[in-house]
Chains A and B, each alone.
Chain A
């Protein structure tokens, strides 16, 4: 299925860290295709390699076996071509830059013109509902707003792929619900491909078109669940039998792949 529509294509991908306590198999035998426009969630217990997989896509880690292509390129070439935006667990905003200057950071580095920068900043602030906060410094914003600014920064340049590593993990439930809803709208509007790491089952089911269930030691994919939910998803969809059905399957997948004996 390595068609042109495949944004990420992993074949028998493996990554082993050499540590003082011997090799750690962070990823082993991962086969996965992510299609253009997909919203893919990676879920699993800690140590299952979900973040590592994202970091391999981003060329922040090098895989040791198998192969992976992003838009038909190696991760390094994809990074050089600025194929993706990355949102970390923490907002990772520069404290000495205002919100609009933070969004401008990748644009400055990639050499966008001043007018173009200005237009994109306004567009992005609007997209994440932060218009009017451009001149504020990060510490003047709440955690949820900071994370939204961080998403705006990742979207400011024209990357079609958005990699998100537990972006809402540190936020409380109410803020998280709100941001999930906004993220879906944003995804619908921009038609980006999103890879989203989470450890929350409801979050994964609510957001994704596909859910990749992973398990640790060695980090591997145990199940890939295609969501049957419609593209339009109000928050109330989480109470429908269909939603609960998928959530159940994810939970079963997590249970099957994880040994609780330890």
Chain B
């Protein structure tokens, strides 16, 4: 056994995968964008060499698949080079989406926890609610999102809340399922022990069920925050593409701005990664405070 090394064990594998993706990506860029280059050349009555094809496919204005450096340039241009208040700033759009994501995530998690507590403590709720909770997720979100936006808009609610509600709709589900499992996870022995102490159900909840459910809660929250972001983006699509990452995706596809679409996608992915890691860090912190063997 050699000593663990950060570079060899953590960084090298990641870099290898990134390098492989970049190679494949560039191959795909040349392959997918070449027909357009050849077409243009044929129309102009010129012949093109392979080298010209390659260099042109990597620098098209509206490529089928933009090259990574084009996306990076667009990201740089729309985040660092533009003031954040500008409607063309990706930071501004990301913030719009993020605020809806966080609001939806908060409401969804709270709703999920409340429903789970009800389901665990009340047999009637268990029997009546659980099937609906599961059925709610079989409805395609793309179908229900415009309905929510339109209905709420007609009663004068627009902006942040409708988008957050779509996030809520998606994110409460993993929290309910995880928390029901978590709150039911304590061993019979531990529940019997509470019974011998003549503990009230409130005491059993706070001293046993709730702490036992923590690992389940955070696992669910990681899923919930990621799909909250998806919900917020989907919620921005039917609003007429005013603001947010969803709006950037939609307007990009209207005008064939593939580079803009990819930049928004990268921004969304980065946002999701950051959000999930924040929840993950909170998870680690809580478990550490609960004395879990690390």
Please give the residue numbers on chain A whose beta carbons come within 8 Å of chain B beta carbons, in ascending order.
Answer: 58-60, 79-80, 82, 84-86, 88, 90, 92, 94-98, 105-106, 108-110, 137, 139
State whether A105 and B207 are in contact (beta carbons under 8 Å apart), knowing that A80-B198, A82-B197 are contacts in the complex: yes
Residue of B nearest to A86 (CB): B196
**Chain B nearest CB, measured from A223 CB (Å):** 29
Q: Are A94 and B211 in contact (CB under 8 A)?
A: yes
Q: A94-B190, A94-B211, A109-B203 are in contact. Are A137 and B196 (CB under 8 A)?
A: no
* Most chain B CB within a 10 A radius of its CB, from A80, A82, A86, A94: A94
Interface band, chain B: 20 to 34
Query: A84 to chain B: closest CB distance in Å?
Result: 7
A140 CB to nearest B CB, Å: 8
In chain B, positions 200-221 with a C-beta closer than 8 Å to chain A are 203, 207-208, 211, 214
A97 vs B208: C-alpha distance in the bound complex, in angstroms? 10
Distance to closest chain B CB from A144 (angstroms): 18
The chain B residues found within 8 Å of chain A, CB to CB, are 187, 189-190, 192-199, 203, 207-208, 211, 214, 290-293
Give the residues in chain A near B198, CB-CB below 8 Å.
Answer: 79-80, 82, 109
Assuming the contacts A96-B211, A96-B291, A109-B207, asked whether A90 and B197 have C-beta atoms less than 8 A apart, the reply is: no
**A97 vs B289: C-alpha distance in the bound complex, in angstroms?**
10
For B293, the chain A residues whose CB sits under 8 A away are: 137, 139
Q: Given A82-B198, A96-B211, answer yes or no on A88-B291 (Cβ-Cβ < 8 Å).
A: no
A-B contacts besides A86-B193, A88-B192, A92-B187, 10 pairs, CB < 8 Å: A60-B196, A80-B198, A90-B189, A96-B214, A96-B291, A97-B291, A105-B207, A109-B194, A109-B207, A139-B293
Distance A98 CA – B292 CA, assembled complex (angstroms): 11
Query: Interface SS of chain A: helix, strand, loop or mixed?
Result: loop
10 closest Cβ pairs, A-B complex: A96-B290, A137-B291, A92-B189, A86-B196, A109-B199, A109-B197, A106-B197, A139-B293, A96-B211, A88-B189
CB distance from B147 to the nearest CB of A (A): 44
Find out whether the CB atom of B290 lies under 8 angstroms from the CB atom of A92: no
Chain A residue, CB-CB nearest to B187: A92
Supply 14 A–B pairs (Cβ within 8 Å), ascending by A.
A59-B195, A59-B196, A79-B198, A82-B197, A88-B193, A92-B189, A92-B190, A92-B193, A94-B190, A95-B290, A98-B291, A105-B207, A106-B197, A109-B203
Q: Contact partner of B197 among A60, A98, A110, A139, CB < 8 A?
A: A110
Interchain CB contact under 8 A, B187 and A95: no
| Given known A109-B197, A109-B203, contact A94–B208 (CB-CB < 8 A) | yes
Shortest distance in angstroms between B263's beta carbon and chain A's nearest beta carbon? 44
A137 to B207, CA, bound (A): 16
Neighbour of A96 across the interface among B187, B196, B292, CB < 8 A: B292
In the assembled complex, how far is the CB of residue A62 from the closest CB belonging to chain B, in whole angstroms? 13
Min distance, Cβ B187 to any Cβ of chain A, angstroms: 7
A108 to B214, CA, bound (A): 21
Distance between Cα atoms of A79 and B293 in the complex (Å): 35
- Asked if B290 contacts A108 (CB within 8 A), the reply is no
Residues of B within 8 A of A94 (CB): 190, 207-208, 211
Q: Which chain B residue shows the least CB distance to A159? A: B196
Max chain B CB contacts within 10 Å: which of A79, A88, A97, A110?
A88
Query: Residue of B at shortest CB range from A82?
Result: B198
* A59 cross-chain contacts in B, Cβ below 8 A: 195-196
User: A110 to B195, alpha carbons, bound, how many Å?
Assistant: 12
